[in-house]
Amino acid sequence: MTSFPNSIQSFPTMQDISAADASLVQQYQAAMEAGNLATATAILGQISNADKKIIRADLLNTITDTSVALQQFYAEKFSNGYVVSSTQPAGQSTGDFWFKLDRKLGETTT
């Protein structure tokens, strides 16, 4: 879940797996592949800064939710209306534009 637009969403600065982590990461992957979530969770707890080294569904979901929130925010904020007519329309929102037509297309002034 994202905190945007109420606050700036924070994301961890990801880190590479260290040589010291390699054995634990292999054990973690083996436990996950075997469906042994309890063992996998215990191993994950032994990896220093695991939340910054292992990409999990919760991180991907937060990134996705934030991306969708950004799209919605900008779609709402920057979807100004542009109206071209001879009379000013009623109910324009702040940021909407009205371009007044003084004559019909193709008509010339004399």
3-state SS track over 25-85: HHHHHHHHHCCCHHHHHHHHHHCCCHHHCCCCHHHHHHHHHHHHHHHHHHHHHCCCCEEEE
Query: pTM score, two decimals?
Result: 0.58
Report whether pLDDT(95) > 70. Answer: yes
How far apart are alpha carbons 33 and 85 in whole angstroms? 64
Any idea where the domains of the chain sit in the sequence?
A: 22-79
The answer to whether the beta carbons of residues 25 and 47 sit under 8 Å apart is yes
Q: Write the pLDDT tens digit of every residue in 51-88.
A: 999 998 999 999 999 999 998 888 776 655 667 777 77
Decide: 76 and 60 in contact? Cβ < 8 Å: no
Higher pLDDT, 95 or 23: 23
Average pLDDT score over the chain: 86
Distance (Å, rounded) from C-alpha 54 to C-alpha 99?
54
Indicate the SS3 state at residue 98: strand
For the chain, state the CA radius of gyration. Answer: 27
